[in-house]
Amino acid sequence: MTYLDHAASTPTRPEVVEAMMPWFTQHPGNPSGAHQQAREARRAVDEARDAVAALVGADSSEVVFTSGGTEADNLAIDGVLRSKGGTPICSATEHPAVLEPVRDNGGIVVPTDEAGQISLEALAETLNSIDNISLVSAMTANNETGVINPITGIAELLEERFPSTYLHTDAVQATAWMDLAKYCEGAHLISITGHKFGGPKGAGALIIKKGVPFLATQRGGGQERERRSGTQNVPAIVGLGKAAQIMMSEREILSARVTDLRNQLEEKLIVLIPDTFRTLPAESNRTPQIAHLCFKDVESESLLFLLEQEGIAASAASSCASGAQQVSHVLQAMGIDYEKASGSIRLSLGWTTTEEEINHALNVIPQAVTQLREYSK
């Protein structure tokens, strides 16, 4: 199987699985308990907390473990709004885990530019024209296209002109590829999730910087410094910490290797298949792992079907609960016309991607597109 869907979920690193195992098989303790086993679990969670804090440039006390990216995004928006009130803003290309709570809280969705990046001008205009905007949520890198938002620029804008507005960034798709400690330094809240960078599914974190007004949504035993109650998922958190450590040491080399493979894939497909377009404008600032292309006169659903038959896993827009492909809200926000968007596909690479896989894709995709175009109406 050629796996080109790392942006959906990337394989768990073997070292991560190894680190997690004893926490299933040997250590039963609840981190909130008082005895030896509990203290062991507590220490494991705290070590993972240190690793995650180092990865994103936060203090350990600012790390709140969650069940993943969606919970972290929901919690960031609901948590700040519950405490501070006001109105949240995000852009139209955010993940639904941000869009939905922003809408539910009566928030504002601002347009993006043609690359799907949040427009600083549109943002400043909205901030100027509407009172009491408490939170801006802007993803670090987009989950469909990989385009990078100007997080530093937004942070500066808020700091200089709107100091009572907080900045949340969904860094889920950026964690494996960007130095979040540097790039997201100005953000007050940061969401990450393990399974996008070699950790397990079901383990994520929300970073809540000191001084950010926040009121928990999940209440109970007061774990995670009263910011997220519930017994910590110790094995998964240990895995998340291990993956964070691996990222710290391997990110740069991995990014360089994947950028090279991605460029080969993208450039060769454009040459091999007539009427193929890059979804993002050339020279867009983007993460290395995603090749996003539109093929004229092809339906992405059919293309993905044929790719699967030839042993290639990929995706188009984000999948909805039924598993059907929706026309992407990200591509709509970028103003890409329907015909082009309906033939789009996302090939996403990761730490296991090999040159053989890229060559396999380069063999299969042109044939599949040709087959579908023969039948296109």
CA distances from 48 to 226, 237, 248, 252 (A): 18, 6, 13, 21
- The number of CA neighbours under 13 Å toward the Cβ of 220 is 10
CB of 336 to other proteins, least distance (A): 15
* Among candidate residues 102, 81, 82, 80, the one with its CA nearest the CA of residue 91: 102
CB of 97 to other proteins, least distance (A): 19
Number of residues that bind other proteins (CB under 8 A): 20
> Cα-flanking dihedrals φ and ψ of residue 120, to 5°?
-60, -35
Binding mask 277-306 for other proteins (x = CB under 8 A): ----------------------x-xx--xx
Sign of torsion over alpha carbons 335, 341, 344, 347: positive
CB of 313 to other proteins, least distance (A): 13
Active-site option among 90, 184, 294, 320:
320
CB of 341 to other proteins, least distance (A): 11
Which CB atom, from 34 or from 320, has the smaller least distance to other proteins? 320
Exposed / middle / buried, residue 71 (Cβ in 10 Å: 0-12, 13-18, 19+): buried
Alpha carbons 259 and 254: distance in angstroms, whole number: 8
Which CB atom, from 132 or from 309, has the smaller least distance to other proteins? 309
Q: Does 364 bind other proteins (CB under 8 A)?
A: no
Q: Does 272 bind other proteins (CB under 8 A)?
A: no
DSSP 60: G
CB of 26 to other proteins, least distance (A): 34
Which CB atom, from 47 or from 299, has the smaller least distance to other proteins? 299
Q: Does 164 bind other proteins (CB under 8 A)?
A: no
Which CB atom, from 131 or from 374, has the smaller least distance to other proteins? 374
CA distances from 242 to 10, 18, 42, 55, 319 (A): 15, 10, 16, 11, 29
Q: Does 371 bind other proteins (CB under 8 A)?
A: yes
> Cα-flanking dihedrals φ and ψ of residue 226, to 5°?
65, 15
Binding mask 22-61 for other proteins (x = CB under 8 A): ----------------------------------------
Which CB atom, from 108 or from 327, has the smaller least distance to other proteins? 327
Please say whether the beta carbons of 90 and 98 come within 8 A.
yes
CA distances from 275 to 5, 45, 334 (A): 23, 51, 20
Which CB atom, from 142 or from 328, has the smaller least distance to other proteins? 328
Among 128, 231, 263, 376, binds other proteins (CB under 8 A): 376
Binding mask 303-342 for other proteins (x = CB under 8 A): --xx--x----------xxxxxxxx---------------
Q: Does 377 bind other proteins (CB under 8 A)?
A: yes
Per the rule left: phi > 0, alpha: psi between -120 and 50, beta: everything else, 147 is beta
- The number of CA neighbours under 13 Å toward the Cβ of 5 is 18
320 labelled catalytic: yes
* Among candidate residues 69, 82, 176, the one with its CA nearest the CA of residue 134: 82
What are the residues binding other proteins (CB under 8 A)? 299, 301-302, 305-306, 309, 320-327, 371-372, 374-377
Annotated catalytic residues are 320
